[in-house]
Amino acid sequence: MLSVSQLSIDYGSNRVVSDLNVSLGDNEILMLVGPTGCGKSTILQALAGLIPISEGEINVGKWRATPTLNVPPEKRSVGMVFQDFALFPHLTVEQNICFRLKNTAIADHWIKLLGLNDFRAKKPATLSGGQKQRVALARTLAHQPDFVLLDEPLSNLDAALKDMLRWDIRNALKEAGVPAVWVTHDQEEALSVGDRVGVLQNGKIQQLDSPEQCFSMPNNRFVARFLGEASFIAGQFENGQATTSIGVAPGQGVDCDSGDVDVLLRPDDVQLIQNLNQPNGEVVWVRFEGGSRLCAVKLSCNTLVTSRVSHEVVVNPGDSVHVSIVTTHPLAVYKRQ
Ligand SMILES: Nc1ncnc2c1ncn2[C@@H]1O[C@H](COP(=O)(O)OP(=O)(O)OP(=O)(O)O)[C@@H](O)[C@H]1O
């Protein structure tokens, strides 16, 4: 377990993290996301014991740290995985993983599980970035930490490698059965591999929830925009129904029960049809995404909504199109701004 309550951290007179509360069960992965400078790395450093905390408490069961009760990093049983791998260049893969380890059988387990068996005798310089990160993770887990902190572990890797490695890291953490806090800049990574996602802004948690809840029912517009493409369309909200100029859908009030509202639309909530007799918008831009295209459509009321269509649908800026809401799940509804 890893439990953090009322955690605040100051640099001099500047409070950079305020009132963080989170409890992680064994086996649980928390993804921390937020814009640059919001305090993600500061939280990791405080959990690792590298910087003092100003208020609150960190409790791992075996130890407890407060502003007046310091626990040095080496007494915290914390495993850390960094973006730059931090391997010893003069040691082999096996020596890196077994460094200062008494039980090398455990190292063996992680070497095999993380696909490093054929690389035991190699030096880090001869490995790819993904392999280096596997070595770093194997080394961390071989020491059987009580919790793991990952600081942007995939940010130095190319896109194709990232996708596979993120799942391998998740699976390894689950197998190890340790709580983990994973900092990332990548919203997609946060939503796909986290059990829970914490969205930070200016050192304050804006939402701490399941990925699904954070994405479909954001606590506020900042979270909605931060986690993906988000459009807001004016509407009326009564009896759980949101009525807008492009359709009616079930709604759930986030900060209101009824009245004039803005309805959150994700690109998948909006259907785009071409060649319909009654267009209601004009395509402003189109982004090709490979298997799909993301299209922004300006409605007559000047609202911009985005819709995702198959790559087979050829849409161009300037096209007149018809957009409508197609969803059966409740849309997040906010008091009109
Ligand atoms: N050693 C320090 N002394 C003073 N202020 C600091 C120090 N380290 C970080 N800060 C400030 O604390 C705030 C949070 O920084 P932090 O590095 O935790 O953000 P972050 O979310 O990890 O950013 P990034 O995504 O860019 O890595 C920032 O305003 C930063 O300028």
pLDDT tens for residues 183-194? Answer: 998 899 999 999
Ligand 1 binding pocket (C-beta < 6 A) is 11, 16, 34, 36-42
β pairing state of 304-310 and 292-299: antiparallel
Q: Name, in order, each residue with C-beta under 8 angstroms of 286's C-beta and a sequence gap of 6 or more.
A: 293, 294, 295, 296, 315, 316, 317
The boundaries of every CATH 2.40.50.140 domain in the chain are 229-335
Of ligand 1's atoms, which has the minimum distance to the CA of residue 200?
21
Instruction: Quote the ligand 1 centre to 9 CA distance (angstroms).
Output: 11
- Phi and psi dihedrals of 5, rounded to 5? -130, 135
Q: Residue 82 pLDDT > 90, yes or no? A: no
pTM, two decimal places: 0.93
CATH no. of 2-77+145-221 = 3.40.50.300
Specify the residue with its C-alpha closest to ligand 1, atom 25: 36
Classified by CATH at the fold level, domain 229-335 comes out as: OB fold (Dihydrolipoamide Acetyltransferase, E2P) (2.40.50)
Instruction: Point out the ligand 1 atom lying closest to the alpha carbon of residue 203.
Output: 14
Q: Is 120 helix (H, G, I), strand (E, B) or coil?
A: coil
Q: Which of 17, 36, 42, 152 to mutate to test the pocket of ligand 1 (most atoms within 8 A of CB)?
A: 42
Q: How high is the pLDDT of residue 143?
A: 93
CA of 49 to the centre of ligand 1 (A): 16
Q: How confident is the model at residue 288 (pLDDT cuts 50, 70, 90)?
A: very high
The answer on pLDDT for 275 being more than 80 is no
Q: Where in the chain is the domain with CATH 3.40.50.300?
A: 2-77+145-221
